[in-house]
């Protein structure tokens, strides 16, 4: 997942002072921390709330984007920027994504409701687009007794090759488990051997 990158204009970026944190609206954000970042959907939703307009149905990918801060630089207190890696919602996996030997797009049956996918998709953002801290942790599948209620990730997506890292396969049908369900048996519809699970 290592990625060589270049910031353009390079001199303007390297001339800025590097910091370990920044403060926005009284909240301190740190390098290596996770944040929510406003996007068009979240801005429109906020406008609708402010104007008392009816809310449209939404899906998970309409939520604020989630990013991990890699580096913070600033030229002054009004010009503060962060280099980030984006965390993808499974719904955002593009067509042509390689999941093992399968070619997929979007959310798969094994993705949990609060599951994110780490990526090496990098950008530089103005920190004023940060809306709040995000609490995201890596979930290790050997700890399968813990049902995930917060944001977590277990897979990584390489934007150069469209490859998705593997997940642990369960049952004899070799499919991944969904971490939202307590696994007593396989949750795959086509597997008739051990289908019992709790939501």
pLDDT range class, residue 107, cuts 50, 70, 90: very high
With beta carbons less than 8 A apart as the criterion, state whether 150 and 52 touch: no
pLDDT at 3 over 50: yes
Q: What is the DSSP string of 80-125?
A: EEEEEEEEEPGGGPPTTEEETTEEE-S--TT--TTEEEEEEEEEEE
List, in order of start, the domains of the chain with CATH numbers: 10-167 (2.30.30.490), 168-199 (no CATH)
Task: Report the pLDDT value the prediction gives residue 8, as an integer from 0 to 100.
Answer: 87
Whether 129 and 38 have beta carbons less than 8 Å apart is answered as yes
Q: How far is 180 from 139, CA to CA, in rounded Å?
A: 12
Q: Is pLDDT above 90 for 118?
A: yes
Please state the rounded mean pLDDT for residues 183-191: 61
Q: Lowest mean pLDDT: which of 25-29, 54-58, 62-66, 162-166?
A: 54-58
pLDDT at site 195: 46
pLDDT value at 18 more than 80: yes
pLDDT at 155 over 70: yes
59 band by pLDDT with thresholds 50, 70 and 90: very low
The DSSP code for 60 is G
**pLDDT over 90 percentage in the chain:** 56
Distances in whole angstroms, Cα of residue 38 to Cα of each of 61, 101, 116, 126 = 12, 35, 17, 11
| pLDDT of the residue at 167 | 86
The mean pLDDT of the chain is 83
Residue range 142-167: mean pLDDT, rounded: 84
């Amino acid at each position: 997942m290592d990625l060589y990158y270049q910031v353009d204009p390079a001199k303007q970026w390297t001339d800025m002072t590097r910091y370990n944190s920044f403060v926005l609206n009284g909240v301190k954000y740190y390098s290596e921390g996770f944040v929510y970042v406003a996007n068009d959907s979240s801005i429109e939703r906020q406008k609708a709330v402010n104007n008392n307009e009816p809310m449209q149905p939404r899906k998970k990918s309409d939520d604020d984007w989630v990013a991990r801060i890699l580096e913070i630089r600033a030229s002054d207190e009004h010009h503060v920027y962060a280099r980030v890696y984006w965390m993808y919602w499974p719904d955002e996996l593009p067509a042509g994504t390689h999941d093992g030997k399968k070619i997929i797009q979007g959310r798969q049956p094994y993705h949990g409701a609060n599951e994110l996918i780490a990526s090496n998709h990098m950008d530089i953002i103005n920190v004023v687009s940060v809306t709040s801290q995000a609490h995201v942790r890596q979930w290790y599948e050997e700890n399968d007794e813990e049902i995930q209620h917060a944001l977590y990730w277990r897979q990584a997506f390489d934007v150069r090759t469209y490859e998705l890292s593997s997940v642990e396969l369960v049952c004899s049908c070799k499919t991944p488990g969904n971490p939202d369900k307590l696994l007593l048996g396989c949750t795959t519809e086509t597997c008739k051997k051990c289908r019992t699970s709790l939501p």
